[in-house]
Structure 1
Amino acid sequence: MLNIADTLSRWCREDRPFALATVVRAGGSAPLPPGTALAVGLDGEAVGSVSGGCVEGAVQELCGQVLASGEPPVRASFGYSDADALAGGLTCGGELEVLVQRIDPAGQPHLADALEQATAGTPVAVAQVIDGPQRLLGRTLSLLRDGSAYGGTLGSRQEDRTVAGRALPLLRAGRTARVEVDAGPQKLTLLVHSSAAPPRMLVFGAVDFAAALSRAGRLLGYRVTVCDARPGFATAERFPDADEVVVERPHRYLESTGVDARTVVWVLTHDAESDVPLLRVALGLPVGYVGAMGSPRIHEHRLERLREAGVPEERLALLRSPTGLDLGARTPAETAVSITAEIAARARGGTGLPLSRVPAPVS
């Protein structure tokens, strides 16, 4: 639901009831992941998507029925083989399940608060019951980044504490995911929607490749920083797509800046004098990816220098170099595509193979 937080927040401020359809399960080649939502207002206005177009009409119709009748939340499944005339089926060949519920903002002020926080860019999570006792289906609990629940309840204080404990790691990681919770006498399945600050991309080396990588990183939703010790090279004019350009010794900057498990670090300097101290710091941090440009021969030389600097083998194994997928890239733009493609493949569990050669359904 946080993918349409801005519109839902406005509807809540205007105290406009709406029906919310949330993807709670997706399989095969379904185009949109769990957590994606579509909402329909009383006037028929619709926002968001659950399938990229395949079954939008059917879901909107179901939303209208739930909104008008005030009936309890309902679940509906859609798939390629659906014979249901209402469903029509997913022409992409995937399968998805949605939970449709009526939201009355006046009765759920905590949800309105969470949507407003998400719209403002404040890290927030909404834990939504998607399976369990009918009386709890669709209920939500909202959390801030520090783990404090500032509204909503799932039925009891014990359940709220248990769910908060499971949701907090997902919020800190910026992940939306299903969780199973054994809360006292009953088991619940929840979908934790997380809205976190954009992940960071730290690019070291103010070179042409960094400009292309900044552009690609911004397109993928990263907050991009370009860092170089040379003030004549590290300028905002040379890197208009970077969110910030820092003039500082790379390893000094990396030691002092904030990172997390979603942060990606790229070293493009080709300078052993700065590469080694920088990579020594990077390989000791809890970041998601560390990559360095260079040929296999340069990489082997770099590894020897890092061993001499005391970096253990298990940390050296985390270094991706040469960085990127084998696309035959030559230009900075092609290299940026190669590098970001590897990041996407690792994050999503992709093979890096052409889709025409992947036997399993595209997910």
Structure 2
Amino acid sequence: MLNIADTLHRWCREARPFALATVVGVHGSAPLPVGTSVAVDEDGDAVGSISGGCVEGAVYELCRQMVRDLGTPRRARFGYSDDDAFAVGLTCGGELDVFVQRIDPAAHDAKFDIPLLRLALDLPVAYVGAMGSRRTHDERMRRLREEGVTGDRLARLRSPIGLDLGASTPEETAVSITAEIIAHAHHGTGRPLTRTTGPIHRPPEPASRR
């Protein structure tokens, strides 16, 4: 998702609604990994790719429908096993589970946040974060508990999102969030390298352990 972050940031600054489709599961051979995303705004402009081309059309139409009809988040599977494999399937033989949701930057409201976070925390994704003040965080946690979200699920939520870099501008905030995602993905400490020992660059871990 980091490769489309600049565009999503601009759309959010412009309060432009969009749909975001993210790969949350891969079965068999697939061209791109879990976490890869594509976004489509209300004008039909798209950024990103989730399959290298073989299911882009179907995912694009699903995103257009989501952003146009104010649809509820949904999970869809695309793959070679579909009836019309070569029309909307992966010709490489794999299957993708894709989570699609509408993002409305102008509506930061608990009635949107809580259902989305409940769903996200139930998905096998590596990172779930939410922006907001500490007061917003405390209220969000209270509402999630009332909705029956268990402690082990709540422990997965990164909120307030980002590392403490002293960020104040939107650009600095984006850096702090990106830094936390990278640290989480590679099991980094987030501490200054001057206060750590050992190799600076760690060998990459298998995707299954992330």
> Normalising by the residue count of structure 2, what TM-score does the alignment of the two structures yield?
0.62
- In the alignment, the residues of structure 1 paired with residue 21 and residue 195 of structure 2 have an alpha-carbon distance, to the nearest angstrom, of 36
Query: Counterpart amino acid of 2:108?
Result: Q
Task: Give 1:59 shift.
Answer: 0.3
Task: State how far apart, in whole Å, the 2-side matches of 1:129 and 1:142 are.
Answer: 13
Letter of the aligned partner of 2:9 in structure 1?
Answer: S
| Distance in structure 1 (CA, Å) of the matches to 2:102 and 2:43 | 14
**What secondary structure is seen at the aligned counterpart in 2 of 1:22?**
strand
Partner residue of 1:358?
Answer: none
Structure 1 residues 2, 107: closer, same or farther in 2, change over 3 A?
farther
Do the aligned residues in 2 keep the contact of 1:143 with 1:164 (CA within 8 Å)? no
- 2:57 aligned with 1:57, yes or no? yes
Shift of 1:62: 0.8
Give the structure-1-normalised TM-score: 0.39
Query: For residues 34 and 75 of structure 1, do their structure 2 counterparts lie closer, same or farther at Cα, with a shift above 3 Å needed?
Result: same
Between the aligned partners of 2:89 and 2:8, the Cα distance in structure 1 is 27
Choose which of 247, 257, 275 in structure 1 pairs with 2:194: 257
**Structure that is richer in strand per residue:** 1
Partner residue, 2:143: 156
Describe the SS at the equivalent of 1:257. helix
User: 1:142: which partner in 2?
Assistant: 130
Match of 1:196 among 173, 179, 193: 179
The total of aligned residue pairs comes to 171
Distance 1:108 1:160 in 2: 23
The percent identity for this pair of structures is 49
Query: Hey, what does 1:46 align to over in structure 2?
Result: 46
Residue 85 of structure 1 deviates from its aligned partner by 6.5
Structure 1 residues 23, 154: CA separation in 2 closer, same or farther (over 3 Å shift)? farther
Unpaired segments ≥5 residues, structure 2: 111-115, 123-127, 163-176, 184-192
Aligned counterpart, 2:105? 105
Instruction: Specify which structure has the bigger relative contact order, considering alpha-carbon pairs within 8 angstroms and separated by 6 or more residues.
Output: 2
Q: 2: CA distance between counterparts of 1:71 and 1:79? A: 23
Q: Which amino acid aligns with 2:119?
A: V
Who is 2:88 aligned against?
A: 88
What are the equivalent positions in structure 2 for 1:97-136 lying under 5 Å apart?
A: 97-108=97-108, 129-130=119-120
Task: After TM superposition, give the deviation of residue 150 of structure 1 in Å.
Answer: 5.4
Paired residues for 1:155-234 under 5 Å: 156-158=143-145, 159=149, 163-167=153-157, 195-196=178-179
Structure 1 residue 108: Cα displacement: 2.8
User: Normalized per residue, which structure has more helix?
Assistant: 2
Rg larger in structure: 1
Task: Provide the C-alpha distance between the structure 2 equivalents of 1:165 and 1:149, rounded to a whole number of angstroms.
Answer: 18
Q: 1:66 to 1:166 in 2, by over 3 A?
A: closer
Q: Report deviation, 1:40.
A: 0.3
